[in-house]
């Protein structure tokens, strides 16, 4: 299909090389699907694949790399699988473990595990990707409302996501002269495996002014907007997609 048939906006994405961490489920899967749907070549990595991702692998220009992104060498290996050029990097991988026993129960190993996956996986991927990026490239990091709404049950996770938000802003300033943009999307409770039960979903939705959880597609739409040409002069921003959970003041 020609660029004229696709339309100018969609044609911009065709042939772009995108790397997505944690693309087998939830928000990451929605981002992979969105990128593939507009003609980007997508390389994604996670510990395991999924039936939904396998469908994309069969139908679109999507490559899956099995990696444990807590391994210090894994993020660079994933980026390397994309080749010599990376146009878009979406750092989505992350997880949280509730700590009902409180702060003193969170061990050094717990802190290290949280930071390895929620911060260092992104740091290592960015370190590798920026060497392959040219003007017009973009990075989008998926942070969390917990970066600004600390929860004692998720103390290490919130701290890790706050660190990622800070790195996002610092790197945006450093890379702006090179024409590389760095932004973040901050989801609140979303319909992912973290909120797997009806009870958990209802409890989370009750806190949100909209009365419902965000869908992975809605977070992916924000990622696409920040990664794409309509945000060409936006960098160092954090877009919140949380149904109004964090009040606008």
Domains and CATH numbers, the chain: 14-188+221-241 (3.40.50.720)
Both tokens of 153, joined, read 């049950």
pTM > 0.75: yes or no? yes
Task: State the maximum Cα–Cα separation within the chain, in Å, rounded to a whole number.
Answer: 60
Residues 143, 123: Cα–Cα separation, whole Å: 13
Beta bridge partners of 170: none
Residue 194: predicted pLDDT: 65
CA atoms within 13 A on the CB side of 23: 30
Residue 14: predicted pLDDT: 96
Both tokens of 249, joined, read 């003041």
Residues 97 and 114: beta-carbon distance below 8 Å: yes
Residue 105: predicted pLDDT: 96
Burial class from Cβ neighbours inside 10 Å (0-12, 13-18, 19+) for residue 158 reads buried
Residue 208: predicted pLDDT: 84
Return the active site residues. Answer: 157
Strand residue runs (E) in the chain: 17-21, 41-46, 62-66, 88-91, 138-142, 181-187, 238-241
What stretches in the chain show pLDDT beneath 70? 1-9, 192-201, 248-249
Residue 200: predicted pLDDT: 66
């Amino acid at each position: 299909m020609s660029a004229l048939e696709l339309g100018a906006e969609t044609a911009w994405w065709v042939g772009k090389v995108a790397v997505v961490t944690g693309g087998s489920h939830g928000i990451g899967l929605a981002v992979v699907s969105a990128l593939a749907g507009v003609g980007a070549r997508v390389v994604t990595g996670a510990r395991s694949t999924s039936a939904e991702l396998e469908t994309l692998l069969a139908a679109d220009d999507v490559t899956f790399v099995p990696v444990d992104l807590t391994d210090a060498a894994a993020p660079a290996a994933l980026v390397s699988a994309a080749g010599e050029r990376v146009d878009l990097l979406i750092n989505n991988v992350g997880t949280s473990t509730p700590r009902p026993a409180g702060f003193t129960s969170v061990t050094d190993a717990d802190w290290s595990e949280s930071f390895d996956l929620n911060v260092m996986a992104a740091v290592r991927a960015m370190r590798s990707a920026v060497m392959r990026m040219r003007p017009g490239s973009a990075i989008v990091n998926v942070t969390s409302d917990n970066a600004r709404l600390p929860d004692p049950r998720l103390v290490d996770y919130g701290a890790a996501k706050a660190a990622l938000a800070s790195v996002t802003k610092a790197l945006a300033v450093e890379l702006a002269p090179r024409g590389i943009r760095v932004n973040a999307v901050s989801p609140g409770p979303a319909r992912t495996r973290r909120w797997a039960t009806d009870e958990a979903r209802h409890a989370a939705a009750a806190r949100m002014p909209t009365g419902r959880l965000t869908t992975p597609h809605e977070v992916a739409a924000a990622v696409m907007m920040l990664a794409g040409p309509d945000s060409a002069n936006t960098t160092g921003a954090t877009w919140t997609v949380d149904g109004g959970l964090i009040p606008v003041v």
